[in-house]
Amino acid sequence: MSSQPNSTKSSGNSNDNDNDNDNGNGGGIGPVSAALIGIGGMVGGGIFAVLGTAVALAGGGTPVAFAIAGAVALLTCYAYVRLSCHYPEAGGTAVFLDEAFGANLFTGGLNLILWLSYLVTIALYASAFASYGQTFFSEPAPWLRHVLISAGILLPTAINLLNASFVSKSESYIVIGKLLLLGVVVGGGLFHLDSSRLEMAAWKSPGALVVGGMVIFVAYEGFELIANAAGDVREPQKNLPRAYYGCVIFVILLYVLVAIVTVGGVSEEVIAEQKDYALAAAARPSLGHAGFVLVSVSALLATFSAINATIYGNARLGYSLAMDGELPEELDHKAWNNPVAGVLVTTALSLILANTIDLRAIAILGSAGFLLIFAAVCAAAWKLAPTIGANKLLAAAGSLACLGALGALLAHTAKEDPKALLIFAGLLAAAFAFEWLYPKLSGRPLRNPREK
């Protein structure tokens, strides 16, 4: 699954147990299949979208920036492990927040921020889809980008409305394809490195490395999807930690290698010029123009798939929030067993975001949203530590790391892109204002989904 939000449950993965009978216990998902859910969520459209932005911020220290972001993800992962082992349910993040803090304005607002953050990721993937699509035109007109962005969202919307089951059925093949592609790029690129580009003299300042890591944090958020499948994992106390830590460590290593190949194989000037499709540029030194085209085609498929899956999942997250009284009841209706209204609302808002905000600002918004949510999840693990058997110091460290990273990102954004900061503040204000006003106007009380 490529960055599917909550309420997608383990759709598309329930048959993975046939591939994962590693301990002979029969039914349920094993650690490998569960880890693949997280890997698919992380290695979605994000790495294609944000790699160039990271290099622009961190320079030769981009591998370090990816490692910093990975360390924050690993700390957050600890909270998800402890919470998922105690609450192995499809609700994932929403369940954890409600259990720790109750169904109220605070948790309702955070759940809406999660929903909005996935809208931002759709916009991010659509922008990347357009960037790689434009590489097939010698002199693309300015309006072509908007056409490609819109097509990248509208075509997956049609698939979701006409044949939603296709989304989950196709995801495992696309995940494997993406990993194979990145393996080829890394394998070829390691033999064409200019080590001087990776030396400390080529690194940006320590603060820039942290900011670079936080801008790309959106490329790590997908490990939370394992929480949605936790109820289907056999021997969860043993296999969930293996799946969470295994997928995060694997992706950290993969991203660091991709960053090394990109920075070491392509000059800073070329990356600056081609930052919106930096991964394709990184393939050219070792694989030639054919490699550039191969990566561009693969990026189109990967980002298209990520949009497809995220529309699928976010519509269902919206359906779940509407059932709990956090979104209008029109979103909790289904047609043909499909939340059609949720799909259409997700599509409309994503189109607006993708066509009005630039790629870097979208990446900042996405990363900031998930850092805030993950800080709250770590705080939930801290509060519930006696119940879930968590180490309070580790849970607190995760929350502080996310908040510190968020603070660094927002401080940098205030200087470099104040418009993006205003948009993020507007999203936060809109989420909490809606959560405060809607129950009063609709008469629908908020409900903890576990108490239905």
* Model pLDDT, residue 189: 81
- Output the CA torsion 78→83→168→22 (10° steps): 70
DSSP state at residue 202: G
To 5 degrees, how large is the angle CA 178–CA 361–CA 297?
A: 25
Residue found by looking up tokens 């066509």 in the block: 355
Model confidence over 379-438: pLDDT tens digits?
Answer: 999 999 999 999 999 999 999 999 999 998 898 888 888 888 888 898 899 889 988 888
pLDDT band at 16 (very low <50, low <70, confident <90, very high): very low
In this model, does residue 300 exceed pLDDT 70? yes
* Model pLDDT, residue 264: 87
Burial pattern 73-107, b for ≥16 Cβ within 10 A else e, equals: bbbbbbbbbbbbbbbbbbbbbbbbbbbbbebeeeb
Residue 179 in tokens? 């990993």
User: Helices 105-134 and 93-101 meet at what angle, rounded to 10?
Assistant: 160
Average pLDDT, the chain: 81
Which fold is adopted by the domain 14-451? Answer: Amino acid/polyamine transporter I (1.20.1740)
| Nearest by Cα to 298 from 75, 155, 135 | 135
Residue type, 317: L
DSSP assignments along 313-376, one per residue: HHHHHHHHHHHTTSS-GGGG--BTTB-HHHHHHHHHHHHHHHHHS-HHHHHHHHHHHHHHHHHH
Q: Which of 97-101, 170-174, 432-436 comes out lowest in average pLDDT?
A: 170-174
In this model, does residue 443 exceed pLDDT 90? no
* Model pLDDT, residue 17: 41
In this model, does residue 27 exceed pLDDT 80? no
Q: Which is more confidently placed, 12 or 333?
A: 333
- What does the radius of gyration of the chain's CA atoms come to, in whole angstroms? 21
Model confidence over 111-140: pLDDT tens digits?
Answer: 889 888 888 888 888 888 998 899 888 888
21-25, 244-248, 287-291: range with highest mean pLDDT: 244-248
In this model, does residue 452 exceed pLDDT 80? no
Listed by start position, the domains of the chain span: 14-451
% pLDDT > 90, the chain? 22
In this model, does residue 337 exceed pLDDT 60? no
Q: What is the mean pLDDT of residues 162-174?
A: 64
pLDDT band at 12 (very low <50, low <70, confident <90, very high): very low
Residue found by looking up tokens 């509407």 in the block: 322
Residue found by looking up tokens 């990248």 in the block: 152
In this model, does residue 148 exceed pLDDT 90? yes
d(CA 173, CA 368): 30
Model confidence over 185-223: pLDDT tens digits?
Answer: 888 888 888 888 888 888 988 888 988 888 888 888 888
Is residue 2 within 8 A of residue 310, CB to CB? The reply is: yes
Is residue 438 within 8 A of residue 86, CB to CB? The reply is: no
In this model, does residue 22 exceed pLDDT 70? no
Residue 57 in tokens? 């911020």
In this model, does residue 1 exceed pLDDT 60? no
What residues contact residue 244 under an 8 Å CB cut-off, 6+ apart?
35, 38, 77, 80, 81, 84, 223, 226
* Model pLDDT, residue 171: 62
* Model pLDDT, residue 2: 43
In this model, does residue 179 exceed pLDDT 90? no
* Model pLDDT, residue 372: 94
pLDDT band at 341 (very low <50, low <70, confident <90, very high): confident
* Model pLDDT, residue 89: 72
* Model pLDDT, residue 53: 81
SS3 state of residue 190: coil
d(CA 292, CA 2): 23
| Nearest by Cα to 35 from 251, 345, 279, 302 | 251
% pLDDT > 70, the chain? 85
| Nearest by Cα to 360 from 44, 115, 131 | 131
Q: Which is more confidently placed, 41 or 201?
A: 201
Reported pTM: 0.80
d(CA 207, CA 61): 11
Distance of CA 27 to the CA centre of its chain: 29
Beta bridge partners of 335: 338
Residue 213 in tokens? 């890591």
Q: Provide, for the chain, the percentages of residues in helix, strand and coil under a 3-state DSSP scheme, each rounded to the nearest 5.
A: 80, 0, 20
